[in-house]
Structures are given as structure tokens and as C-alpha cells.
């Protein structure tokens, strides 16, 4: 089999679709290189002294793991000097990170969840990195948080790396979704799946069932129908999976179909759901739509939501189109 590297793929995409100018290619390659470094740290585990807590809290009030902090640093350092970015933003930083004056300023803005699935780090279960790329608004001066307040439909690229039995990079620049596997010996990303498409027929769902008693009625109804299986209205049995790393759950859905849900619930109305719009839901929604699936917050297409703050949370329903449409229709019937 002829091996196609990430660089070759990006160059070919540019020739085909004119969608990846040199600066964006540099950006993607730098992010991919940073993910390679994170993957290397993840693989070392206790031997690299990367497990356990950093004993600090991030802006969301979550205790940071050492690897959350390390991965954030790796991404910041890798992306600062290339001249391709104007600013960055991260789950692990309260405010945006403008590119320091000593480096040239580029036209893109990068957002990331440096380490997704933190609760799985110490138990050797798949984790990942999620990223989203926006263009800086025309005529932008010194970047501010307001410049990042763009709907997900404005993303020019989105992707994630999953650090599992294999390290993979899943990427879209708006012309389908492609998957690269890290060749650990060669240190290179090799194209291993072209044009990933989410299978429509599915018998799998992913949700944290321990929150069931807090869910709103439309989610209760939808999940109860799945649980009723072949004797219920769906007339087939469903299986459940919950990895607690969104990257790993989404990666399974891209390959095997299904639906992923992290709904809002009755507990804290100031906190609609758990996942963050700008660097978790938006990039995943772009990938899922590009792979023929759908993503909503129960009512609205995720990519159409106008953001109002960097760390805002959003309910998430994504995956196979018909399933997302069904649970979304149950929300519409409710109002
Ligand atoms: P993060 O580690 O970046 O904070 O994200 C974890 C998220 C997501 O990856 C996962 O789907 C979800 O939290 C798991 O939540 P529960 O702990 O409620 O299962
Ligand atoms: Mn996350
Ligand atoms: Mn994270």
C-alpha cells in the first residue's frame, strides 16, 4: 500500500479544493506534531511522571491533572512562534492567549481541549486532544475574547487526536473527514481512513446513565424507548457504551454509528450540560456533520449557536442523523 503522509494529504487537498493555504497547513502540522508529543508523554505513564493531580484548579473549578497542564503547555509552545496564529484559547486557561509580540501575528485562531477524558488518564483508558480553528475577523487589532465569539459554522478546520491502543488524528477542513494513524517508529502520521462516514443504521447509544434521575422529559422519553428494546416502540435492542472520554466515544460513533448525549439536566440551570461549546462541541459537531451525521443541543444545530463566552457549556446530542433527529424532535414536541 502506498503511504500518504499528513503533509502530502494536505498539499493534495489544497490542489483539489483550494481549502488549505500554506499557513493553515503549517497550523495543522504544528498541532499534529504537538499531539505526537502528547501521545509520547501519555505512553510513558508513571515512567514519565505524568500521572496524578497537579493540585491546581482550572477556570471551570475542575482539579487539573498533571497531563492537563503538560498538554496545554505543549500546545501553547508548539503554536506560538510559527506566525500562523493571532491567538489561542484553551479549556485550561481562563482568558485567551494572544501570540507574544516577539513573534509575527497570523490570521488564524486556535482553540483546544488539550486533554479530553482526564478521569481516564490514571486508569490507562483512551484519552485525546480536541481542536478548532477559526479565522481572525477582518481588520482585527489586538485579539480579544470577542474575536473568538464566532458560530461553529465559521470553523475552517477541526480535529481530534485519540491516544488509545493506536494514536490517531481525525481531521476535517470542510471537505470530508480523514483519519491518520501515528507510525510510532517513523514518527509520522499516515492516512489510514479516507472520507469517514457515520453508518446510519445503529444499535448503540452513549450517555452517562447515572444522571438519569436529573434528565428533562425529552431525554427520559428517548432513552426509555431505547432501553425498551425489541418490545418497545423502536422494535430492536440497543447496546450502551460510555467511555467518559468524548474523543473515544465520538471515534467509535464515526466508525460504527450511534448517538452520543450529554444533556442539560435539572440540577444547575446556570450550567447547561457539561461539555464546552467552543473547544468540545463545535469541533466535534463539524467533524460529525462532515461525516454525514448531525449535532444539536436538543433544539438548535450546534454549529448555528452564537457563542457569548469562551467557556460556555452546551447540551450535546451528536452522531447518526436519524437518532439525533428523533431526540431533537422530542425536545420540539415538549415546548
Ligand atoms: P475533560 O476531561 O476535558 O474535562 O472532558 C471530559 C468530558 C468528556 O470527555 C466526557 O464525555 C465527559 O466529560 C465525561 O463525563 P462524566 O464524568 O459525567 O462521565
Ligand atoms: Mn473535554
Ligand atoms: Mn480537557
- The string of pLDDT tens digits covering residues 31-63 is 999 999 999 999 999 998 889 999 888 888 888
**Ligand with minimal distance to 274 CA:** 1
Distance 117 CA to ligand 1 centre (A): 5
pLDDT of residue 282: 99
User: Does the C-beta of 204 come closer than 6 Å to ligand 1?
Assistant: no
Distance 18 CA to ligand 3 centre (A): 32
Q: 62, 275, 313: which to mutate for ligand 1, most atoms within 8 A of CB?
A: 275
pLDDT of residue 55: 86
Cα–Cα distance measured from residue 39 to residue 42, given in angstroms and rounded to the nearest whole number: 5
pTM: 0.97
Go through the domains of the chain in sequence order and give each one's CATH number: 6-193 (3.30.540.10), 204-334 (3.40.190.80)
Give the position of cell 444533556: 263
**What residues in the chain have per-residue pLDDT under 50?**
none
Cβ neighbours of 230 (radius 10 Å): 9
- Sheet of strand 259-262, all strands in order from the earlier edge strand to the far edge: 239-240, 204-206, 259-262, 316-319, 294-296
User: Does the C-beta of 113 come closer than 6 Å to ligand 1?
Assistant: yes
Cα–Cα distance measured from residue 148 to residue 134, given in angstroms and rounded to the nearest whole number: 8
CA 268 from centroid of its chain's CA atoms: 24
Cα–Cα distance measured from residue 115 to residue 198, given in angstroms and rounded to the nearest whole number: 24
pLDDT of residue 335: 64
188 annotated as belonging to a binding site for a ligand? no
Amino acid at each position: 500500500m502506498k503511504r500518504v503522509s499528513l503533509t502530502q494529504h494536505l498539499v493534495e487537498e489544497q490542489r483539489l479544493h483550494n481549502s488549505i493555504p500554506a499557513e493553515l497547513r503549517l497550523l495543522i502540522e504544528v498541532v499534529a506534531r504537538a499531539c505526537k508529543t502528547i501521545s509520547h508523554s501519555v505512553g510513558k505513564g508513571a515512567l514519565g511522571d505524568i500521572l496524578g493531580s497537579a493540585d491546581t484548579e482550572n477556570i471551570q473549578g475542575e482539579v487539573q491533572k498533571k497531563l492537563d497542564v503538560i498538554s496545554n503547555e505543549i500546545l501553547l509552545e508548539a503554536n506560538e512562534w510559527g506566525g500562523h496564529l493571532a491567538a489561542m484559547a484553551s479549556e485550561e486557561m481562563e482568558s485567551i492567549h494572544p501570540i507574544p509580540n516577539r513573534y509575527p501575528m497570523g490570521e488564524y485562531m486556535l482553540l483546544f481541549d488539550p486533554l479530553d477524558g482526564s478521569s481516564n488518564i490514571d486508569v490507562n483508558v483512551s484519552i485525546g486532544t480536541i481542536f478548532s480553528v477559526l479565522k481572525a475577523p477582518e481588520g482585527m487589532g489586538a485579539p480579544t475574547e470577542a474575536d473568538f465569539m464566532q458560530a461553529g459554522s465559521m470553523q475552517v478546520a477541526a480535529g481530534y487526536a485519540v491516544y488509545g491502543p493506536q494514536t490517531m488524528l481525525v481531521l476535517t477542513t470542510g471537505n470530508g473527514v480523514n483519519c491518520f494513524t501515528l507510525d510510532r517508529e517513523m514518527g509520522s502520521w499516515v492516512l489510514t481512513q479516507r472520507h469517514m462516514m457515520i453508518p446510519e443504521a445503529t444499535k448503540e447509544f452513549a450517555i452517562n446513565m447515572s444522571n438519569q434521575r436529573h434528565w428533562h422529559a425529552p431525554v427520559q422519553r428517548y432513552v426509555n424507548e431505547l432501553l425498551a428494546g425489541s418490545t418497545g416502540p423502536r422494535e430492536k435492542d440497543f447496546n450502551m457504551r460510555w467511555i467518559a472520554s468524548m474523543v473515544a466515544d465520538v471515534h467509535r460513533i464515526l466508525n460504527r454509528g450511534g448517538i452520543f448525549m450529554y444533556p442539560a439536566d435539572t440540577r444547575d440551570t446556570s450550567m447547561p450540560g457539561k461539555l464546552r461549546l467552543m473547544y468540545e462541541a463545535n469541533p466535534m459537531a463539524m467533524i460529525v456533520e462532515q461525516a454525514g451525521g448531525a449535532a444539536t443541543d436538543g433544539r438548535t444545530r450546534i454549529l448555528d449557536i452564537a457563542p457569548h463566552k469562551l467557556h460556555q457549556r452546551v447540551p450535546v446530542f451528536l452522531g447518526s442523523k436519524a437518532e439525533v433527529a428523533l431526540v431533537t424532535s422530542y425536545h420540539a414536541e415538549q415546548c
